Amino acid sequence: MARRSHGDRRKTILRVAGRLFSQQGYYGTSIRDIAAAIRLHGGSLYAHITSKEELLWEIVDEAAQAFLSSLEPIVRSERSPLEKLRLAVAAHLQVVTERQDAAVVFNHEWKALSPRRRADILARRDAYEALFRQILQEGVEAGIFRADLNVPLITRFILTALNSVAVWYRPKGPLSPEQIAEAFTDWAVRGLRRCDPSEAP
């Protein structure tokens, strides 16, 4: 058995590429930057990867899967719209904080993909947003959320606010992902619900 399997090395490269793409952007990161970060020469990377764009694709594709697969079961479940929303926020923040670099790259660097792959990612971004929107829509239709909400607009506001956590979150910071989720939900949900008398002073 090898101390390091082929896949280990590849995962290291993906991890480092994700970190650098997230910090400096795709075009701001050279193959030699990635190689230097693991003490290799530029050309040596090509024993493990086929192209720079392939690296970006793998990072972005995996992030898309992570987001979608964490939200789908929540939307499909039989819970109330309000509980679905709480769970969706928590799930989104879990992906964002556990795969922080990938989340940043997924949100900001997909434009650098080839047209075909860019379209693929865009479609999955849209699908994810549609799932989230569906939760809000169900809440409105169930009479739990206010009828005058601009659901697509508020959905965007919620998702971009949540995504921004990927930029500033630090695992050693004062707030855990769960605390962030709670603070966000407490604020955001209060703006969605028809008035809850228990909130009165």
Partner DNA sequence: CATTTTTGCTAACGAACGTTTGCTTAAATT
Partner DNA sequence: AATTTAAGCAAACGTTCGTTAGCAAAAATG
| Interface positions with a second copy (CB under 8 A) | 23-28, 108, 111-112, 148-150, 153-154, 156-158, 160-161, 163-164, 168, 175, 180, 183-184, 186-192, 194-197, 199-201
Look at residue 52 and give the partner it binds from DNA, a second copy, none, a contact being a CB closer than 5 to 8 Å depending on partner kind.
DNA
Tokens at residue 171, please?
């695992």
> Residues 46-65: x/- map of binding to DNA (CB under 7 A)?
xxx-xxxx------------
* Relative orientation angle of helices 100-108 and 6-24, to the nearest 10 degrees: 60
- Confirm if 45 and 35 have CB atoms less than 8 A apart: yes
**Count of residues in contact with DNA, rule CB under 7 A:** 27
Look at residue 31 and give the partner it binds from DNA, a second copy, none, a contact being a CB closer than 5 to 8 Å depending on partner kind.
DNA
Q: Which is nearer to a second copy, 24 or 69 (CB)?
A: 24
**Sign, CA torsion 159/165/171/172:** negative
Under the binding rule (CB under 7 A), the answer on residue 33 touching DNA is yes
Under the binding rule (CB under 7 A), the answer on residue 75 touching DNA is no
Q: Which is nearer to DNA, 47 or 119 (CB)?
A: 47
Q: Which is nearer to DNA, 51 or 176 (CB)?
A: 51
Which residues touch 178 (CB under 8 Å, ≥6 apart)? 90
- Please pick, from the candidates 25, 37, 40, 68, the single residue that binds DNA as defined by CB under 7 A: 40
Q: Which is nearer to DNA, 115 or 174 (CB)?
A: 115
Q: Which is nearer to DNA, 4 or 170 (CB)?
A: 4
Binding site for DNA (CB under 7 A): 1-6, 9, 29-33, 35, 39-48, 50-53
